[in-house]
Amino acid sequence: MCGVVGIYSDKDISKELYYSLYSMQHRGQESCGIAVSDGEDINYKKGMGLVGDVFNEKELNDLSGNMGIGHVRYSTAGGSHLANCQPLVGRCRKRKLALAHNGNLVNANYLKDMLEEDGYMFQANSDTEVILYILARYYKGDIVESLKITMDYIKGAYSLVIMGEEELVAVRDPHGFRPLILGKRGDEYIFASEDAAIDILGGEVIRDVEPGEIIVVKDGKMKSYYYSENYKPLKKSCIFEHIYFARNDATIDKVNVYDFRVKCGEILAKNENIKADIVVPVPDSGWAGAIGYSNESKIPISEGLVKNRYVGRTFIKPTQEEREIGVKIKLNPLSSVVKGKSVILVDDSIVRGTTSKLIINSLREAGASEIHLRITSPPVQYSCYYGIDTPRRSNLIASQNSVEQIREYIGCDSLEFLSIEGILDAAENKATFCKACFDGEYPVKKIDREELLSC
């Protein structure tokens, strides 16, 4: 899960890229980067850390150009190293290309083997470099045709923004696993992972980039192409974008994230008979679900956990030790609110279980008499290969434990999850989702080497 942005304008846009990335900092906190083109050359700056730490005003002023792309990253394929920072910039057929990627390929290792046999040398270990090299390998002057060939090879999740010296290109994989949105401000075109990156610039969201779509902006004009002439969209938008990753103000594939989360809370509260005193959300992603739960149950909602706003999202920290320290720093219980109370604690998901355990322990210590945990998504039982940092199923607490065993481990008095049917009802059938992390039904299977070489 990363964030990408691309802007085509008639003026310098480095600061616009900066502000757009800043609005999507929640999508990745390990590294960031910006690349801009002035029509003749591509210049770029990237580094480890947050957007506000990597860039200063002088550096942004030096990145002069009317077209550019940007990226915020947390690592799912490849480690948290400077070499893996994006955008990646390379030279091909006497011209430069810059590329930023959100998602994961399921066949990156096999493609890398193939490229290395052809003499390619890799500087990083992310699948984004694989995409760049495949694109360069088949580029003969027509970016659209080379992208169609590239899309024949790469399998999995990818939302891309690509820039040459003269054109800006946006690409979404044939399933549309990861979001990519088209916006406009006057004659300016904007592509971004979420609405906020467009909204803060005063732009208007036009639509989602369609699965399998290739959009090219050149000479101030936009043209749309599709992966193949007989292409039929195979929409499988990632349900976890709506459950956790995206901001509340995002609308992805026609589903508003806030409305979806509130509805999930409402559905979860139906037919409940818990006699609790207060509903307490786990900040920040649990708030909308808690509002929905409170609305349906008529139990008042209270801020029982205070969040330190200067601590990042604990789920996307690179090590478990850092996650645990982050939780302790990040959330502090309000003893005056929870002491002696029966609490309905609402969170969006349980992945490893350690965060929930720490939160419940802290509420116990603050004097809560009962803690009933309600999760506005189903148990995460299967690994994700499309851009979520859950590659090992053994790390997922629900993969090997029943709901009762999870309850015992994390220490709450009762535990309930929303069903898969519940999340689909919350979306009101407005989108077709990938739910592989819940049901193990993977839209794109891993590809063996013989199958790869035959394509």
Q: Which residues are known catalytic residues? A: 2
β-bridge pairing 237-238 and 433-434:
parallel
Q: How far apart are CA 214 and CA 285, in angstroms?
A: 32
3-state SS assignment for residue 58: helix
Amino acid at 307: K
Q: Residue 289 to residues 370, 374, 418: CA-CA distances in angstroms?
A: 20, 9, 11
Q: How far apart are CA 206 and CA 160, in angstroms?
A: 18
Omega prior to 179 cis, within 30 of 0: no
Instruction: Summarize the chain as % helix, strand, coil (round to 5).
Output: 35, 25, 40
Sign of the alpha-carbon dihedral angle for 46, 50, 52, 53? negative
Omega prior to 87 cis, within 30 of 0: yes
Amino acid at 278: I
State both tokens at 171: 């690409």
Contact 378, 419 (CB under 8 A): yes
Q: Where are the alpha helices (DSSP H) in 51-191?
A: 51-54, 57-62, 108-117, 127-138, 143-153
| Closest alpha carbon to 386 in 239, 250, 193 | 239
Helix (H) or strand (E) holding 356: helix 354-365
Class of residue 25 by CB neighbours under 10 A (exposed 0-12, middle 13-18, buried 19+): middle
Q: Residue 335 to residues 291, 297, 302, 303: CA-CA distances in angstroms?
A: 21, 23, 12, 11
Q: What are phi and psi of 136, to 5 degrees?
A: -65, -35
Contact 188, 151 (CB under 8 A): no
Q: How far apart are CA 209 and CA 235, in angstroms?
A: 12
Contact 294, 262 (CB under 8 A): no
Omega prior to 284 cis, within 30 of 0: yes
3-state SS assignment for residue 446: coil
Bridge partners, 102 (sequence order)? 159
